[in-house]
Amino acid sequence: IEESEKFRIEYWELEEAKLRRMPAPKPLAARIALVTGAGSGIGKAIAHRLVAEGACVVVADLDGDNAAAVAEELGGPDKAVAVTVDVTSEEQIEAAFAAAVLAFGGVDLVVNNAGISISKPLLETTARDWDLQHDIMARGSFLVSRAAAKVMIEQKLGGDIVYIASKNAVFAGPNNIAYSAVKADQAHQVRLLAAELGEHGIRVNGINPDGVVRGSGIFAGGWGAQRAAVYGVEEAKLGEFYAQRTLLKREVLPEHVANAVFALTGGQLTHTTGLHIPVDAGVAAAFLR
Ligand code: NAD
């Protein structure tokens, strides 16, 4: 809380009054982040990176046990607190933000990462599949961003909202109508919120990963088997398959996505909003299949 107050006085008020422009972004070491889906995979790597940079993190996940384990790994209540939250619930999201304010005094960096993947061909995709996919990722990220914006606007410290979208937001992956459509929805949320929140010094950007097999609960929980069948490769060799189709011939790991969150929020990309950064080792630049 003291850090935030110091920042407000040193940077925000002075800079704004003197220069009549947006202030320098708050350094990561003084930031308070809330990461959804941080109990596993990409979200967990993001939480680790943010704490390594000095931020405090609220580890928010539907799986409370995983969230608690990650918060513990991150050093416990001084650096990280776990919150069990279903991002489809307005009440639980409000409670998660209230917990962040209670634990650390505010929130100025939010990562919309929670997700599932229902990956089926069109004729097998049920209305229920469609609704579940959209409830969690379209409605869920909208609700989280709305709660984030409310806190950030009140704080008058600016902030960052980052969406972990997907290469599938832009390119049509085979047999995953519900997942790809919801990722495109998230990508447009980025542009819409960048437009609406810019005047408050809130940047909204997206990251489009692809082929993060290792560490991903989504891949382990069925998506991997489905993708392996679509591409005609053994599931155990899926990471290698993805690596071979990239321009860099490298596997994308959760840490590489976390690096992009750092790039967007670490203080250098001060005038970047509404952007999507691919973290796919080059797949989107020369998309094959
Ligand atoms: P993961 O399964 O390891 O992580 C997802 C987390 O979200 C889990 O901890 C899960 O419990 C949580 N979650 C699910 N439903 C939730 C809900 N209703 N409320 C709160 N939390 C919920 O998978 P991951 O691969 O790390 O995926 C993270 C994000 O990255 C997802 O949005 C996914 O679509 C996106 N993404 C992943 C890849 C990839 O290759 N793995 C590629 C592009 C985009």
Q: 37 CB less than 6 Å from ligand 1?
A: yes
Ligand 1 pocket mutation pick from 34, 35, 36, 42 by most atoms within 8 angstroms of CB: 42
Residue-level pLDDT at 16: 58
Please give the average per-residue pLDDT across 76-82, as a whole number.
96
Token output for 98: 């209230």
Place of tokens 């009440």: 91
**DSSP letter (8 states) at residue 13:** I
Cα(227)–Cα(10) distance, rounded to whole angstroms? 51
Nearest C-alpha neighbor of 166 from the set 13, 60, 277, 242 = 277
- Atom of ligand 1 at shortest distance to CA of 223? 41
Other C-beta atoms closer than 10 Å to the C-beta of 158 total: 22
Distance 210 CA to ligand 1 centre (A): 13
- Atom of ligand 1 at shortest distance to CA of 38? 9
Residue-level pLDDT at 119: 86
Q: 61 CB less than 6 Å from ligand 1?
A: yes
**DSSP letter (8 states) at residue 26:** P
Could you tell me which residue, 240 or 1, shows the higher pLDDT? 240
| Helical spans, DSSP H, in the chain | 2-7, 14-19, 41-52, 64-73, 90-104, 127-134, 140-155, 177-197, 217-218, 224-231, 238-244, 254-265
The interface predicted TM-score (ipTM) is: 0.99
Rounded to the nearest integer, the mean pLDDT of the chain is: 92
* Residue identifier of the C-alpha nearest atom 19 of ligand 1: 86
pLDDT in tens, 233-283: 999 999 999 999 999 999 999 999 999 999 999 999 999 999 999 999 999
Ligand 1 pocket mutation pick from 61, 87, 132, 256 by most atoms within 8 angstroms of CB: 61
Task: Give the highest mean pLDDT range of 9-23, 84-98, 160-174.
Answer: 84-98
Distance 38 CA to ligand 1 centre (A): 8
For residue 57, pLDDT over 60 is answered with: yes
Catalytic residue ranges: 179
Global confidence as pTM = 0.93
Please give the average per-residue pLDDT across 57-67, as a whole number.
98
Residue-level pLDDT at 179: 95
For residue 10, pLDDT over 80 is answered with: no
